[in-house]
Structure 1
Amino acid sequence: MINEAELYPESERHKLSIAMDKDQIMITGIINGDERILSNFYKENIRYVQGYILQNFGNAEDVEDIFQDALVVLYQKLKSEMVEMRVPVTTYFYGICKNLWKNRLRKKQRLVVDDKRVYFEEESNDIIIHNIENKEREHLYRKHFQKLSSENRKLLHLFFEGKSMKEISKITGYTVGYARKKKFLAKKQLLKMIEQDPLYEELKVVC
């Protein structure tokens, strides 16, 4: 059995315990409809949701709508125990908000008036959604790519440019075998950092 004391120093265990306790209090408050907890949850998270929606073709009214709709979804999932919370509840909530907003963009309608009738027509926002998702993934990638050593950044940059291992070997001065091993370890490190980022968890959330 893994001993938590071996993984975290005492100060880190204390912080982890506080975060877990705060999350549990928040979850219980949301399930029970505690007005104080819900009010604090709103104050602590509305600016993040607002920033995301306003940057992605929304307005202030959309922000309030999505926040409240996401809160209902979160409540239903927590109440029915449909979700095993492996991330902070706020991270999961942000993921719900983002998915609800992207779903709304997909279904957005416009009023059409012609000579014979008035009707609503669904606009195709697939390109917009695609661009938003690409922007999020690119931000996540760039953020952690910059954390790699300069050697690893150079190696991966050459690889992503389509250079062969033989070409990379000549440029870096490594043997082909060492360059291949170093590339593998650099990619592994990059993927690990990305997967541990809360934004990665948000992108995985499905409403």
Structure 2
Amino acid sequence: MKDQQIISQMKQRDRNALKEVYKEYKIEFFKFASRYTSDNEVLEDIFQDALIVLYENAQVGKLDQLKSTLKTYLFGTGKFMLFKHFRDSKKEVPTEETYIFDRYEKQVINDVYEDKGMNDYQVKLIANFKKLGNKCREILELFYLKGIKLDEIMAIQGYENKNVVKSQKSRCLKTLKELIMKKDG
């Protein structure tokens, strides 16, 4: 079911749309949120609260011009609620550090709500990245995504020296760029 269709059904107080969202995203939300807590009762409460916010915001028209996906909005709301839950459960006096964290949280949640999803270039990048060979994908993932230095990649992939790793990384990157620039890629 498309996001706009679900939002439209929620505006009409169709609880089946809410059930659909619940079934579609519950397991994925639990996986996503489990990096913050392993307490399933807390996760269940947060997920249900986030669903209620989603449902109520749909009914009052706040989601009519949603710039992100429904999933992104729901997960962002849930993450914000998790942070609030942890903050509220602390019995300590707020410090300056806490206020900095709160501003950061608000920025993260705003970024999530305004997320427009992937642009065309990012879609092409992912599609063409999958076309690369295993060695190329691994070297680019290690270097760019995990931030591992060339010396460590050399050991991981069994290369004899750093220059070989460096030139292999360059060839892989060049191949990826060429795939992206192809009209059909």
Question: What TM-score do the two structures reach when normalised by structure 1?
Answer: 0.45
In the superposition, the TM-score normalised over structure 2's length comes to: 0.48
Which protein shows a greater Rg? 1
